[in-house]
């Protein structure tokens, strides 16, 4: 019995399966690179929000408003985060003074911004006890 015909078909099927597997693997790698890039951007935004809170916590009440107005993302962060923006909101109530720091940048879909809350003081206005940073 002549097996030349079967051998050609087997090689063709194996080559086709190999092409499908390699194509799927390449698409998966491309997607994983995008996820890793987004995770690095998220981590950078989180660190920058924490840095902003630490800077604001070192200020007195009289310096705080001016510090919030002048706060901006550093150049290296702006280069890394596409269309990065910084928003800081000060909240003063009976519990004390706290700031909410939000970092936004262009991301795929409709993701939430990185947002951290930092306590500046924990009591009536003028009480400068250090608070905590939480997310």
Condensed to tens digits (0 to 9), the pLDDT of residues 2-44 reads 555 566 788 889 999 999 999 999 999 999 998 899 899 999 9
Is the predicted pLDDT of residue 57 greater than 60, yes or no? yes
Rounded CA-CA distance 103/50 in Å is 10
Q: What is the pTM of this model?
A: 0.71
Q: Tens of pLDDT along 65-111?
A: 999 999 999 999 999 999 999 999 999 988 889 999 999 999 887 78
* Position 134 confidence tier, pLDDT thresholds 50, 70, 90: very low
Nearest to 99 by CA among 115, 120, 123: 120
Helix (H, G, I), strand (E, B) or coil at 75: helix
Q: What is the DSSP string of 88-133?
A: EEEEEETTEEEEEEEEE---SSSPPPEEEEEEEESSSTT------E
Annotated domain spans of the chain: 4-134
């Amino acid at each position: 019995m002549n097996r030349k015909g079967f051998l050609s078909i087997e090689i063709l099927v194996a080559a086709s399966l190999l092409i499908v597997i390699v194509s799927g693997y390449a698409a998966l790698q491309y997607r994983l690179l995008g996820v890793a890039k987004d995770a690095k951007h998220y981590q950078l935004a989180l660190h920058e929000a924490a840095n902003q809170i630490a800077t604001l916590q070192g200020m007195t009440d009289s310096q705080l408003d001016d510090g919030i107005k002048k706060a901006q993302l550093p150049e290296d962060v702006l280069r890394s985060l596409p269309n990065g923006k910084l928003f800081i909101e000060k909240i003063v109530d009976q519990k004390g003074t706290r700031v909410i720091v939000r970092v936004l940048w262009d991301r795929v879909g409709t993701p939430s911004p990185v947002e951290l809350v930092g306590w500046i003081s924990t009591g009536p206005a003028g009480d400068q006890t250090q608070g905590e940073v939480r997310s």
